[in-house]
Amino acid sequence: MNPVTHAMILAAGRGTRMRELTDHCPKPLLEVAGKSLIEYHIQALAKAGIQHIVINTAYLGHMLEAALGDGSRWGVNIQYSHEQELGLETAGGIINALPLLGEEPFIVVNGDVWSDYDFAQLKLGDEHLAKLVLVNNPEHNPKGDFAIDADKLLSMFSLPRYTFSGISIYHPDFFEGLPNGFLALREPLRQGIQKGCISAEYYSGDWQDIGTPERLAELEQQLTG
């Protein structure tokens, strides 16, 4: 199994639930304890040995590129995958960035989550094309998203269900044959579950979806209090 060297941070979303904080700032650049959300990811990925990071941008994307540059200050190489202002959704954004992500499995992480997850432990078995990290259900998603049977990802119709953390790893072949353009991740995941090519792991550590100003303030208190 080759070491993972590439990762993608999803940063193209508008962050409408965070307005007015995101009216003039992309959500991944919002700061917590003196550091932007996306910087926590970059540092964690670099620590895990990731050398190449792709960041997709849409809304106020020029601000992300201006703030983060080429990644040299963290010892990584950052490239940007630009999308139109409305973005391409998760799967569409990944497919658009595939030419920058190499031919081996790559990590994907949502730019608006915070976690102490160790990316170095995220590996993809030879028999799978994708792996999702699942966490306990937060208050805003009490019914969860997916279930796990051993290390297999099961559909939302199975129990018990956990929440998809926004942390995952994919082989490029997982997206083979899918169209370019606007595409949510839900349908490729449904097809992958049916084919049995997606694995999953449960993570019990600290994970937070920073989707509202209140959750941002709570994380600030946690990290500084």
Question: What is the DSSP secondary-structure string of the chain?
Answer: -PPP-EEEEE-----GGGTTTTSSS-GGG-EETTEEHHHHHHHHHHHTT--EEEEEE-TTHHHHHHHHTTSGGGTSEEEEEE--TT--HHHHHHHHHGGGS-SS-EEEEETTEEE---GGG----TT-SEEEEEEPPPTT-TT-SBEEETTEEE-TTSSS-BEEEEEEEE-GGGGTTPPSSS--SHHHHHHHHHHT-EEEEE--S-EEE--SHHHHHHHHHHHH-
Q: Does the residue 17 lie in any domain? A: yes
Q: How do residues 139-193 score in pLDDT, each as one tens digit? A: 999 999 999 988 888 877 788 999 999 999 999 999 999 999 999 999 999 999 9
Domain region containing 34: 6-224
Q: How do residues 91-141 score in pLDDT, each as one tens digit? A: 999 999 999 999 999 999 999 999 999 999 999 999 999 999 999 999 999
Query: Based on the structure, what is the number of domains in the chain?
Result: 1
CATH code of 216's domain? 3.90.550.10
Q: Does the residue 1 lie in any domain? A: no
Q: Does the residue 81 lie in any domain? A: yes
